[in-house]
């Protein structure tokens, strides 16, 4: 066994250890029963199968014992089979990942399955025809004339997967897309090199390392999604707490008014008995003005957005900020309430924060309208004209001292992600001392909104 064989086997062992660590980590996750976790585990197991088969083939090379005769043939056969299976596992994982945000056509899945099945069939046929490879009487592996055909199917599958990533790039976050593309590109390059120069198993090491990168990348994105989800939950809890406080205040004021009513009735009666009509009228007007305001404004038909607007309108009123809202927003838009809360909650909160930094002319204008299959949202607010940008991004001023306008950060990053999720876009502009936010979202339940017309 030459030096090249030892290098290849060492690399295979390294790949098996890395894959095994990833597999154990997936088993220990709280979401281990989820579809995505199960598919990634299958993906990892296929990689272990490929590398383990390759390692056994290297160990049995040149061994003339009877067991080696069968082991080297079985190892090479399963090496090709697992190569087909890992393609299907990766494709199904990608489609399931994308399907969390947007429906994917079954045609893609069936195409990949057909490619996988064809590779399995041709690999089986190759065992009897030696069209891919030949194992000679000394138990040594030799490529044959049609070996290139065995590489076409995984390469074609990876190209299809690359097309999926590019096609659904608006659904995926940029980092996630790059992690997936890494797995597309490096193994393809390794396949091309290994097709020309047989020796060290470049494909195995490339696939394992990029699988590790993909796993780490997915964990990072899931962590960020969890952080955004926690922030959203905290925001909703804060809304509920504030709503409870306002309700308690309203109940207290109502009880006080009811308690004082008999005293006011006594005064009314005394004015009537004395014929003091003008004094009675003035007293009644003063009394009406002292009563708690029990009117609640409905801004739109959507419950979640209406609650957000009510909450922030009270804050704005207490801080002398004039809010005007014209919302054409139906009860059911096909956009998740949590996503609408991210958009309206973050943008209005930023607008109020900006208005706090000026003394006069505080205002916020909120508009939304359904036009065709799109929902357009605009939020304009006054601000002090102080801006700080990093590239095309406006930086945050929520923590005074950083000297920037409150746009960048997790909040607005979440708004951008929601817009991207629904195939839309966001735009931030400044005109004079007015900051303008424009958001466009594609409605998924267009027929519900338009009645099918």
**Token pair recorded at residue 197:** 């120069």
Which pLDDT does position 367 carry in this prediction?
Answer: 93
Which pLDDT does position 439 carry in this prediction?
Answer: 93
Give Cβ neighbours of residue 219 (< 8 Å, ≥ 6 apart). none
Q: Phi then psi for 290, rounded to 5 degrees?
A: -85, -10
Give the number of other Cβ atoms within 10 Å of residue 287's Cβ: 15
What is the full per-residue pLDDT of the chain (453 aa) written as tens digits? Answer: 567 667 778 888 888 999 999 999 888 887 777 888 888 899 999 999 988 998 898 888 888 888 888 999 999 999 889 988 888 888 888 888 888 777 788 888 888 889 889 999 999 999 899 898 888 888 888 888 888 888 788 778 878 888 888 888 777 777 778 878 877 777 777 767 776 666 667 778 888 888 888 888 877 777 776 776 677 677 666 766 766 676 676 677 777 777 777 778 888 888 888 888 888 888 888 877 776 555 566 788 888 888 888 888 888 988 999 999 999 888 887 888 888 888 898 899 889 988 998 988 899 999 999 888 889 999 999 998 887 665 556 665 554 544 444 444 556 777 887 888 888 888 888 888 899 999 999 886 543 344 443
Q: Distance (Å, rounded) from C-alpha 60 to C-alpha 1?
A: 10
Q: Which residues pair with 355 in a beta bridge?
A: none
CA count, 13 A, side-chain hemisphere, 149:
15
Q: Distance (Å, rounded) from C-alpha 4 to C-alpha 29?
A: 38
| Residue 367 DSSP one-character state | E
CB 190 within 8 A of CB 202: yes
For the chain, how are helix, strand and coil distributed in percent, rounded to 5? 65, 10, 25
Residue 108, H or E segment: helix 106-129
Which pLDDT does position 405 carry in this prediction?
Answer: 43
Which pLDDT does position 160 carry in this prediction?
Answer: 83
Which pLDDT does position 450 carry in this prediction?
Answer: 42
**Token pair recorded at residue 27:** 């088993």
Q: Distance (Å, rounded) from C-alpha 380 to C-alpha 363?
A: 8
Which pLDDT does position 403 carry in this prediction?
Answer: 40
Q: From 216, 208, 3, 195, select the one nearest 86 (Cα to Cα).
A: 208
**Token pair recorded at residue 426:** 């966001």
CB 364 within 8 A of CB 352: yes
Residue 415, H or E segment: helix 410-421
């Amino acid at each position: 066994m030459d030096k090249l064989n030892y290098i290849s086997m060492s690399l295979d062992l390294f790949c098996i250890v890395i894959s095994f660590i990833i597999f154990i980590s997936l088993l220990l996750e709280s979401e281990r029963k989820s579809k995505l976790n199960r598919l990634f585990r299958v993906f990892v197991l296929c990689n272990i199968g490929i590398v383990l088969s390759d390692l056994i083939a290297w160990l049995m090379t040149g061994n003339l014992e009877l067991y080696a005769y069968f082991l080297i043939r079985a190892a090479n056969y399963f090496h090709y089979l697992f190569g087909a299976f890992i393609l299907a596992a990766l494709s199904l994982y990608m489609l399931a990942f994308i399907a969390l945000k947007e429906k994917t056509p079954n045609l893609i899945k069936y195409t990949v399955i057909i490619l996988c099945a064809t590779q399995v069939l041709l690999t089986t046929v190759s065992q009897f025809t030696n069209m891919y490879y030949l194992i000679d009487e000394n138990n040594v592996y030799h490529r044959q004339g049609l070996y290139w055909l065995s590489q076409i199917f995984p390469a074609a599958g990876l190209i299809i997967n690359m097309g999926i990533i590019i096609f659904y790039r608006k659904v995926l976050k940029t980092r996630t897309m790059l992690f997936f593309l890494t797995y597309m590109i490096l193994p393809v390059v390794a396949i091309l090199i290994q097709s020309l120069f047989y020796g060290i198993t470049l494909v195995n090491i490339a696939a394992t390392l990029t699988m590790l990168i993909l796993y780490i990348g997915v964990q990072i994105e899931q962590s960020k999604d969890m952080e955004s989800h926690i922030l959203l939950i905290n925001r909703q809890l804060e809304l509920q707490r504030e709503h409870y406080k306002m309700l308690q205040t309203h109940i207290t004021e109502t009880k006080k008014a009811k308690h004082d009513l008999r005293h006011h009735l006594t005064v009314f009666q005394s004015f009537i008995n004395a014929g003091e009509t003008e004094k009675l009228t003035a007293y009644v007007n003063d009394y009406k003005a002292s009563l708690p305001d029990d009117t609640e404004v409905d801004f739109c038909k959507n419950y979640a957005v209406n609650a957000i607007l009510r909450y922030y309108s009270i804050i704005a009123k207490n801080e002398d900020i004039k809010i005007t809202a014209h919302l054409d927003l139906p009860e059911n838009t096909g956009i998740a309430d949590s996503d609408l809360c991210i958009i309206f909650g973050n943008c209005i909160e930023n607008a109020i924060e900006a208005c706090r930094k000026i003394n006069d002319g505080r205002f916020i204008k909120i508009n939304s309208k359904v036009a065709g299959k799109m929902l357009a949202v605009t939020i304009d607010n006054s601000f002090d004209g102080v801006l700080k940008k990093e590239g095309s991004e406006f930086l945050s001023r929520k923590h005074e001292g950083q000297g920037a306008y409150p746009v960048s950060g997790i909040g607005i990053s979440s708004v951008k992600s929601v817009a991207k999720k629904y195939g839309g876009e966001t735009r931030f502009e400044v005109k004079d001392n007015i900051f303008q936010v424009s958001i466009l979202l594609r409605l998924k339940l267009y027929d519900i909104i338009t009645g099918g017309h």
